[in-house]
Structure 1
Amino acid sequence: MKNLKQNVVWITGASSGIGKAMALEWACLGYKVVLSARRQELLEEIALEIRKSGGEALVIPVDILEEKSIEEAVQQLISTWGRLDIAVANAGFGVFGSMETLTAKDWSRQMQGNVTGLALTVKYALPHLKQTQGRIGLVGSVAAFIPNPHVGAYGASKAAVHSIGLTLQVELKGTGVSCTTIHPGFVVSEIARVDNEGLWHPNRPDPRPANLMWPTDKAAKVMVKAIMKRKRTYVFTAHGKVLLWMQRWFPSLVRTISSKGPKPE
């Protein structure tokens, strides 16, 4: 890719976890990085880290639940740096509860964040990505394909992300823009520490199996590589791939395993 120093990547949900790790990875590759999330103070810390390493970073706070916030973020990054080469729709969260207990408000918030917010991120980035024949990265989850007791709303939202990715891969044919939908297995994140109202609980235990958890820096490297190679769909972590294989060939076994798993508080 020519003149790499001029290439710009925009990452939503960049204040922690996978988003932060991807931002640092792209900065190492020489990209200008636009950092977006709600927690501006954390974004500023990441931007400072990037600048100290000789990179360039721009902080633009975004609330993916607000369309105007997304639209204005794209306007600001284009006004500042004049182009966009990669947009990664990474921002998202989990809403917890059984199908019997989830409210309409719970469902609405989950879909507004993980589906509508993601789709609008792509919508406002696309005109500029078409000018650079750029790349889109959608962050889904292995949960899109397997039973998700007590996190069914989250799994449904990630299934929608997978569908959006498939649709974009058709709609973007001939434009030069690629769409990579990435479905991670267990990766270290704060998702279990955020409640259904969006409040963070730093001491809340994470029910996911610690022995299967990938570190964020390792996850970021494979995700960035998949987007750079313009892969269409990419599933990673060994256990994620195994679960998908089992769901295809032994669905009853996966249901049994899922029913015995830990429940989020």
Structure 2
Amino acid sequence: MSSVLITGASRGIGRAIAIELAGRGHRVIATARRPETLAELPVDRRLRLDVTDQDSVDAAIRDAGEVDVLVSNAGESVRAPLESVPLDEVERLFRLNTLGALRVAQGVLPAMRARGAGRLVFVSSIQGRMVLPLIGPYGATKWALEAIAETLAIETRRFGIQVSLVQPGAVSSGGGERAKVHFDEADPYAPLLDALAVLRGEVVTPEAVAATVADTIEQAEPPLRVPGGAPAKSVLEARKAAPEDRPFLMTEIDW
């Protein structure tokens, strides 16, 4: 069994991943900005880790012991049109969702490279391959994350390190409901909210995504990109088949 460090394990997908992997017999190091939120998890270690803080990342990796697998899950979203979204909010999302993922990967890679083995699993999104209105900043962070992960897959392959991206669609984790909202009913872009509800499609559970992550970790040769459930697979296949001369979903939105 593997020793797995998970970021953002306090709730939602990250918490479900910790429970799923522990149930499969893996040694799980669950981390979160507030480690007290991890108290009830059936894991080996519970550590404080803020992916935006280098000292916090260094301390957690030091205290974790040997890490065979990193599951990079920490992240947040925001709801706002790009015309008016506060740029400091966009910067915050990139620091958390993208640079935070890279910071932790940089922390675990030297030991993996020295051992000649290791796995990086990034929890991305279907929005790493497509965009949705009013969630553009989040999508941008995931597109960037996908570029980082694919580059790492090329750079680290000769050192025995495998890289995967798990791409869920809509998940009943509460992340969307917790997202900061930066517009109101008077905003000229507000009618897009109705379109967004239609585009969400079928919702999967955090447990379903966690099972996909665990299956990916346990594959001998995991693919680079793994849809997070059947709904995500259908959307991503449609995106791949769509023409590139206009935005995907443009004709789907009554706007």
TM range (shorter): 0.7 to 0.9
1:90 is matched with 73
Tell me whether 1:30 sits opposite 2:25 in the alignment.
Answer: yes
Q: Could you say which residue in structure 1 is the equivalent of 2:236?
A: 244
CA distance in 2 between partners of 1:234 and 1:175 (Å): 22
Which of 211, 214, 220 is equivalent to 2:210? Answer: 220
- Choose the corresponding residue for 1:100, options 83, 86, 105: 83
Does the 8 A contact of 1:9 with 1:33 survive in 2? Answer: yes
Secondary structure of residue in 1 paired with 2:59: helix
C-alpha displacement at 1:209, in angstroms? 7.4
CA offsets, 1:229-257, max 9 Å, x none?
A: 23211123222222223223345661232
Q: How many residues align?
A: 235
Q: Any idea what the Cα deviations from partners look like across 1:90-148, whole Å, max 9, x if unmatched?
A: 00010221011112201100100000000001000112223261211011100112222
Per-residue CA distance 1:137-164 (angstroms, 9 max, x = gap): 0111001122221110000110111111
Partner of 2:6: 11
- Asked if 1 retains the 8 angstrom alpha-carbon contact of 2:116 and 2:159, the reply is no
Unaligned runs of 5+ in 2: 182-195
Structure 1: which 5+ residue stretches go unaligned?
51-55, 198-205
Q: Which of 54, 58, 62 matches 1:71? A: 58
RMSD: 2.2
Structure 2 counterpart of 1:242, which letter? S
1:22/1:224 contact within 8 Å kept: yes
**TM-score of the pair, normalised by structure 2:** 0.84
Letter of the 1:174 counterpart: R
Of the three residues 161, 164, 173, the one matched with 1:177 is 161
Tell me the TM-score normalised to structure 1 length. 0.81
Q: 1:137 to 1:208 in 2, by over 3 A?
A: farther
- Separation (CA, whole Å) in 1 of partners of 2:94 and 2:198: 22
- Aligned equivalents of 1:260, 1:100: Cα separation in 2: 19
> Shift in Å at residue 207 of structure 1?
5.3
Identical counterparts, % of pairs: 27
In the TM superposition, structure 1's runs of 4+ consecutive aligned residues that sit over 6 Å from their partners are 208-211
Go from structure 1 to structure 2 and tell me whether the alpha carbon gap of 1:222 and 1:195 turns closer, same or farther (over 3 Å shift).
closer
Partner of 1:53: none
Q: How is 1:141-156 mapped onto 2 (pairs within 5 angstroms)?
A: 141-156=125-140
Tell me the alpha carbon deviations over residues 25-53 of structure 1, each in whole angstroms, 9 at most, x when there is no partner: 1111211111111232221121xxx1xxx
State the alpha-carbon separation in 2 of the partners of residues 42 and 70 from structure 1. 18
Q: Distance in 1 between matches of 2:72 and 2:116?
A: 18
